[in-house]
Amino acid sequence: MAAVEPVMLIEPPAFRRDRLVHAWIAVKALSDAGDALWSIALAWTAVQVASPAVAGLIVAAGTVPRAAVLLFGGVLADRSDPRRVMLLFNAIRVAVLVAVALWTLATTPSIVALLVAAVAFGVCDAFYEPSAGTIARQLVRASDLPSYGAVAQTASRLGTMAGSAAGGVVVAYAGLSGSASVNAVTFALVIAFIAIWLRPRFRLERAPKESALRGIRSGFAHLRDTPTTRTLVIALSGLNLAVGPAVGIGLALRAHSEGWGAQAVGLFEALLGLGAALGAVSVVRWRPRREALAGFWALVVQGAAIVALGLGPIWSVAAAAFVIGCTAGYASVLLSATFSATVDTAYLGRMGALTRLGDDCLMPLAMAAFGALASATVLWAPFALFGGAMMALMIGPLRNPMFRSMSLRAPQERSPASPGVRAEDELRHG
């Protein structure tokens, strides 16, 4: 099936002068700060009212329902107005947060209340995120998607860092009710912005009205029949499965084994975050001509850096952590832009849901496998296996002629005879 190009409703200005998009990125970053603040408040309150095991269950309670309904959220994103979906589920989030704030003001926080709040947020995420993932394609030209992604990811990381830094202070002085109220305000601002100012510049093709299960089956059929989309979904799904366990568990295991102390883990995490921010924002200044090709090569370098985490002294591990952060930020911007620009817009929500489903369903297994391998063998073995697997996974995309030549740049920025122009046209029109 040939992809249908989005219809331009309003011609957007150049990205550097697009005040609407800049404001949306800022509002979204503020919302991310509120989410980070709420997450810390939820975790802190959980350890105060429950045993460590139950507290862990509360913090993770949103993951299972989110995974269970995420594909339904993708179907809804593809056949409904994404703005309306985002408004509805942000309003539900505000209602949940207000209810939690009032409940904890009236009585002490309970395990049941915390579980209900965590599950409700997980369900809202499952419906909200696939629709939110299509917004970039409705606001900016395909040629501006890398710049949009770079700025949006950097702003999101800064917002999350600021929210995390403020979270402990807010929950200490205002408790769970104060934290819930602050996050409710950030969601209310998002609602106001979407309702009053955010208007699509491009109209996306909508999926036909059909049952949710039939829509999910159609999504998997599209994945089966479209090799380029399938490659991108697999690459984006596997992006975190190799690096997540290596940095989430592996760094702590290495620091403990070598006697470097917890401060070393903090240093490694800081270098990861700094590298990710620099890698993302570098796309704005030094954007490659072949975005997908550069993104896949960055993941090859990342695989090698994952292997390096398991070897050498503390300074080489620190350097590897920084490289992983840089390549993660760089590759995620370029490949996400390629994904948004090239996936058939009638399937964009479902394909985005599939990439998120990989984290929810497979990440716990990947974490467990990394830890089990580290216990059963030498410590460097899981780093070598996971890093090598990432490099091996990139062989297919790097050998694909379409990804090797494709460019998202505007036609005036490329030669008319450029193979990148022909490749992009073939990818879009089948």
pLDDT of residue 330: 92
pLDDT of residue 423: 43
Residues 162 and 191 in one domain: yes
Residue 407 lies in a domain: yes
Last residue of a domain, one of 206, 237, 263: 206
pLDDT of residue 420: 45
Residues 81 and 121 in one domain: yes
Residues 231 and 282 in one domain: yes
pTM over 0.85: no
The secondary structure of 266-312 as a DSSP string is HHHHHHHHHHHHHHHHHHHHS--SSHHHHHHHHHHHHHHHHHHHTSS
Last residue of a domain, one of 189, 206, 223: 206
Residues 41 and 140 in one domain: yes
CATH number of the domain residue 191 falls in: 1.20.1250.20
Residues 244 and 184 in one domain: no
Residues 225 and 199 in one domain: no
Mean pLDDT of the residues in the chain: 85
Q: Any bridge partners for residue 7, and if so which?
A: 203
pLDDT of residue 386: 92
Residues 329 and 272 in one domain: yes
Characterise 207 by phi-psi region: left (phi > 0), alpha (psi -120 to 50), beta (else). beta
Extract the residue ranges of the chain whose pLDDT is less than 70.
Answer: 1-5, 52, 238, 410-430
Residues 220 and 333 in one domain: yes
Residue 1 lies in a domain: no
pLDDT of residue 430: 41
Q: How many residues are present in the chain?
A: 430
Contact (CB, 8 A) for 342 and 230? no
pLDDT of residue 188: 94
Last residue of a domain, one of 190, 206, 222: 206
Residues 20 and 130 in one domain: yes
Residues 198 and 253 in one domain: no
Residues 190 and 324 in one domain: no
- The total number of structural domains in the chain stands at 2
Residues 282 and 425 in one domain: yes
Count Cα atoms within 13 angstroms, Cβ side, for 300: 12
